[in-house]
A = this chain, B = another copy of it.
């Protein structure tokens, strides 16, 4: 289930996200020197989430990975929700920056590929709601890049908003499909084709009138998909490149400099 953005003290959250020193001195006057930093905690938490998913992400697990207790984290981070918000932003720091020179269309595709790769490196990102009211610096940088890339297309601002939002949806949705394909393949261990034919047999047994009730679905399923052990991931990838191409085709109509 999606973790929604934390709703604690917005000032504190913002300051943490942007690592601002304005909301308090950098080092408090008295007391022992902190053994941890927010960044160290984020790295540990991201490592835990990469290994065990969001379900495996507990305050205890993060604390232990740092040689500390769960409670020690609360000195640096108000709640688990805010920790996840910070992780979400931090994970976007690792985004590659492939910038081909081939016009805005190629650059947009490169941006989408980079973002998708980031999601697939940290699949738990897909379990965190992205529809957040405020962005952290790294998410903001991702947004800034696609806006810069789309600049030469000279689109009206409403179109820019629409296309950027659509691009995020496409990248995220396809990454979800790919991640699900991988997780299914990994957890069952059986190649996709075998798994698929088993599923079909079961369906024929349980829903014998499927073909009559869902003729269009049946027809589409009969069309040749890509084959191979990773056919599910391949299909998801093809759907992504195809969908992106269609969207950008449509966009070229609106662009003054196609």
Alpha-carbon distance between A233 and B169 when the two chains are bound, in angstroms: 16
**A257 on the interface (CB 8 Å rule)?**
no
Q: In the bound complex, do residue B246 and residue A163 qualify as a contact, i.e. CB atoms below 8 Å apart?
A: yes
Contact present for B166 and A247 (CB under 8 Å):
yes
Residues of B within 8 A of A20 (CB): 206-207
Interface residues of A in 100-144 (CB under 8 A from B): 124, 126-134, 137, 140-141, 143-144
A168 part of interface (Cβ distance < 8 Å): yes
- The answer to whether A223 has its CB under 8 Å from any CB of chain B is yes
Is A248 part of the contact surface with B, judged by Cβ < 8 Å?
yes
- Please determine whether B207 and A18 come into contact, CB atoms closer than 8 angstroms: yes
A253 to B176, CA, bound (A): 27
| Distance to closest chain B CB from A10 (angstroms) | 7
Which residues from 75 to 122 on chain A have a C-beta closer than 8 Å to any C-beta of chain B? none
Q: When each residue 144-182 of chain A gets 1 if its CB lies under 8 Å from chain B and 0 otherwise, what string results? A: 100110010000011111111110111011101101110
Q: Given A157-B223, A238-B161, are A176 and B207 also a contact pair (CB < 8 Å)?
A: no
Known interface pairs A207-B20, A214-B140, A242-B159; A176-B130 also in contact (CB < 8 Å): yes
This chain's copy number in the assembly:
2
- Bound complex: CA A128 to CA B254 (Å): 35
Among the stretches A1-9, A26-34, A35-43, A65-73, the one at the interface with B is: A1-9
Chain B residues contacting A22 (CB-CB under 8 Å) are 205-206
A220: contacting residue among B10, B160, B241, CB under 8 A = B160
Q: Is the C-beta of A249 less than 8 angstroms from some C-beta in chain B? A: yes
Q: With a CB–CB cut-off of 8 A, which chain B residues contact A245?
A: 162, 250
A54 to B215, CA, bound (A): 34
A229 at the interface (CB under 8 A from B): no
CA A181 – CA B224 in complex, angstroms?
A: 41
Q: How far is the CA of A3 from the CA of B128 in the complex (A)?
A: 11
Q: Which residues from chain B contact A253 at a C-beta distance below 8 Å?
A: 249-250
A47: chain B residues at CB < 8 Å are none
**A172 B169 Cβ-Cβ under 8 A:** yes
Residue of B nearest to A149 (CB): B216
27 contacts between A and B (CB under 8 A): A1-B2, A2-B127, A5-B180, A14-B202, A15-B206, A129-B180, A131-B173, A131-B180, A131-B181, A144-B214, A157-B220, A158-B238, A158-B242, A161-B220, A161-B239, A162-B245, A163-B246, A164-B239, A165-B173, A165-B177, A165-B236, A166-B170, A168-B173, A172-B173, A246-B250, A249-B253, A250-B250
